[in-house]
A and B are shown apart, each in its own frame.
Chain A
Amino acid sequence: MSLRSLFKPEVTRRTVLTAGQVVPDPVRCVQCGICSYNCPINIDVRRHAWLGEVIVDSHCLTCGECVSRCPRGVLRFERSDVFKDKGS
């Protein structure tokens, strides 16, 4: 987790779509699977949370279903380093 990114202003929808990725905080996760169940393209988000891995699946739509439905705040969007961080 990038410490610097924690208090950036809310990323815009467009930024999320282009440069966002879903990052789990495994210590919060109880493996209920609401995330995987609601993923429209069947990414096993829960397995990523178990392994503490960022969801880097290129098919991820960053639609936010998993992020918003998780009852324990395990998942959130962070800026990926796909694009260089410009001046922030």
Chain B
Amino acid sequence: MTQFLIIGSGVAGISAAEAIRSQDTQSPITIISDDRHGFYSRPGLAYFLTGEIPQDQLFNYSPQAYKALNTKFIRGRVTRIRSSDHMVEVENGKYPFCYDILLIATGSFALKPEVPGIAFDGVVKLDHLEDAIRIIALAKKAKKAIIVGGGITALELAEGLVANRVKVHYLLRGDRYWGNVLDENESRIIERRLKEHRITIQYQAELSEITGKAGRVTGVRLASGDTIPCDIVAVAIGIKPKLELAKASGIATDRGILTDEYLQTSVDAVYSAGDVAQAIDSLSGKNVLDTLWAPAREQGWTAGLNMVGVKTPYVKSPSFNVTRLAGLTTTIIGQVGGGRDSDVFGIARGDSETWRDIPDAIAAQTGFEVNRLRLMIGEEHIVGAVVMGDQTLSYPIQYIVAKRVDISSIRSALLAPGADISEVLVNFWTIFSRQVAHSLSSEIS
């Protein structure tokens, strides 16, 4: 019997417990978390805000699933890991807890800008269920909200507040939305759609102070000196891995907890997965941060297998995310290039650092405003893509990027001026998929 302990009840922690249970039905598994709501869909908070789902619907794990997992849940905050004793301290040493194998999956937290007035009532972020509940309660009485920040979460806040009938004024420090991932056309498409939803966008607007009265938000002051009255200030300027516990316990960290390819940390029998882990990307050889649900789940599963003794390297898939930006389904795959986003400090939620690598590739683009496709074309491969609107093409592109399918036969056609790249790609895929299906069926027979 091995005593497995997991710190954190997010998707990485649950997935690790599932992996352990898939191999070992007997050993005790314990999950310690200070989130009183336990495991739920954090990306789903956006749709709870818009009213598309009720609060209860966020909880995806059924009682039967919990029963099958056979895992003990403890609510509490781990304050120290004593790895030499194989022990953690909960609530400052009040409750010591022994382990044989430990996983740190503490996740990340939303940063707040360091400006005067940030502690006023009415300043919100979207990190936990508590935040979403608070936003909905505030929105009932609010007339106007200011949004500060870039990336996916800022838009989720904007759209959620609009759905709750609050007028939204969106401040961007830069010249356009999500400049380190989207190209200029893509940014403008999103911005135009936001404006259609009566969201006001102000560019090159830097928040310098949140003003208030009797502890409550009354407005914001910008670096330009302009003031804007409002009742809510919603911030999404980036996230930070929750590292303090690992740091204080002598575990090697950089911007996240450093892990090897088996997701083990610098300390024996201690693993890490999810937003807090800075896992090695075998493709680039660098340790990178991902703040996406799917890699967190994948890392959790791989860490769980390694914890239970099934040696499994973590092979990072090309970063992939589908999200809804201003009502437009958007898929971002692999490397799409781009520089710095002045609206985000570090990494944004639902973000991957690998997107921002500037690939050795040329972009090909096609489509109408709301059905847009951008391909990043390397020497022999498609290294990244952004698909906005109709998602039919995103499925084959997902495959072509992940499997590094050789596209040299259509490379010049894709890069020809005025090329209909969708059509070139569809024709290529029709033939390619037939060949793959044929070779698969020959292999089987």
Minimum CB distance partner of A7 in chain B: B430
Q: What residues of A have a CB within 8 angstroms of the CB of B408 in the complex?
A: none
Report the Cα distance A75→B385, complex, angstroms. Answer: 20
Q: What residues of B have a CB within 8 angstroms of the CB of A25 in the complex?
A: 395
Q: A82 on the interface (CB 8 Å rule)?
A: no
Report the Cα distance A6→B62, complex, angstroms. Answer: 32
Within the complex, the shortest CB–CB distance from B420 to chain A, in Å, comes to 15
Report the Cα distance A33→B434, complex, angstroms. Answer: 34
Knowing A31-B60, A33-B57, say if A4 contacts B44 (CB, 8 Å).
no
A2–B437 CB distance below 8 A: yes
Q: What residues of B have a CB within 8 angstroms of the CB of A71 in the complex?
A: 47, 52, 323-324, 329
A73–B322 CB distance below 8 A: yes
Q: Interface majority SS on A: helix, strand, loop or mixed?
A: loop
Q: B28 on the interface (CB 8 Å rule)?
A: no
Minimum CB distance partner of A28 in chain B: B322
A3–B60 CB distance below 8 A: no
Report the Cα distance A25→B323, complex, angstroms. Answer: 14
Within 8 A of B (CB), among A9-34: 25, 27-28, 30-34
Within 8 A of A (CB), among B317-331: 317, 320, 322-324, 329, 331
A34–B329 CB distance below 8 A: no
Knowing A27-B294, A72-B322, say if A33 contacts B426 (CB, 8 Å).
no
Within the complex, the shortest CB–CB distance from A71 to chain B, in Å, comes to 4
27 A-B contact pairs sorted by A residue (CB < 8 Å)? A1-B395, A3-B399, A3-B437, A3-B440, A4-B433, A4-B437, A6-B395, A6-B396, A6-B433, A7-B429, A7-B430, A7-B433, A31-B41, A32-B41, A33-B53, A33-B57, A33-B58, A34-B47, A37-B52, A37-B53, A37-B57, A47-B62, A71-B52, A72-B323, A72-B329, A73-B329, A73-B394
**B interface with A by C-beta (< 8 Å):** 11, 41, 43-44, 46-47, 52-54, 57-58, 60, 62, 65, 293-294, 317, 320, 322-324, 329, 331, 391, 394-396, 398-399, 426, 429-430, 433-434, 436-437, 440
**A interface with B by C-beta (< 8 Å):** 1-4, 6-7, 25, 27-28, 30-34, 36-37, 44, 46-47, 50, 69, 71-74
Given A1-B395, A71-B323, output 20 extra A-B contacts at Cβ < 8 Å.
A2-B437, A3-B440, A7-B396, A7-B430, A25-B395, A28-B294, A30-B44, A31-B41, A31-B293, A32-B53, A32-B57, A33-B53, A34-B53, A34-B57, A37-B52, A47-B60, A47-B62, A72-B329, A73-B329, A74-B322
